[in-house]
Amino acid sequence: MDLDFALRIFIAGLLGGTIGLEREYRAKEAGFRTHFLVSLGSALFMILSHSGFDNILQEATNVSLDPSRIASQVVTGIGFIGAGIIIFQKHVVHGLTTAAGLWVTSAIGLTCGSGMFALATSATVMVLICLEALHLILRKIGTRHILLTISASTRNEIKAVLQDMKAKNMNIASYEMQEKVLGDGKHLLVVTIDLKLKKKVYDNFLLQFMDEYEGVDINKIE
């Protein structure tokens, strides 16, 4: 029986780690170790929930236990880990897909803990298809948020950049302009622009577009 339980948590860690490797490759907030531990821990809780108190049931005939009592708390507990991964920054939500992946990984671990290896493996394959195959599709047709920080010495140069961006169908969600005084008494305008761009535009055009303006410097792209 102990060997069977060890096999369950081993397979759970293996399947969870497989999803984690994909997240690690994409440099996401939670990688191999997090997914491995979540899946293995979920399987262990499932085993403990339905088999950890058999001796009590054998010795005390007037005691009844719900075999899902501990496992059900995993679903709630994994929400705290997921909430720690999700970041809301500059009107953009980051980490939501990774948090959802952790939630599914915990379910895969629970499934392995119940001994349903075929179902857990099928779910893992479907998760990988969702994460990887859809990534390739969305890379062609999807959009992404870009925070572009540029600087220039005059407002006309900034205005020309913004007008040209709109002319080239770059969706400007918002922008913020600050004026900084340099040590020699000159003024520098620093503008942070929140852009929503097609992936193709970002990969092939953004840097080339900014090279057209000699008086405008790119300070940061994130």
Kindly list the domain boundaries of the chain, sorted by start residue.
Answer: 2-141, 143-221
- pLDDT tens by residue, 110-155: 999 988 999 999 999 999 988 877 777 766 666 677 777 888 888 8
- pLDDT tens by residue, 177-222: 888 777 666 778 888 888 777 665 565 566 666 677 777 777 777 7
| Nearest partner of 145 among 98, 87, 104, judged by Cα | 87
Report domain 143-221's class.
Answer: alpha beta
- pLDDT tens by residue, 5-33: 899 999 999 999 999 888 888 777 778 89
**182 near 153, Cβ under 8 Å?**
no
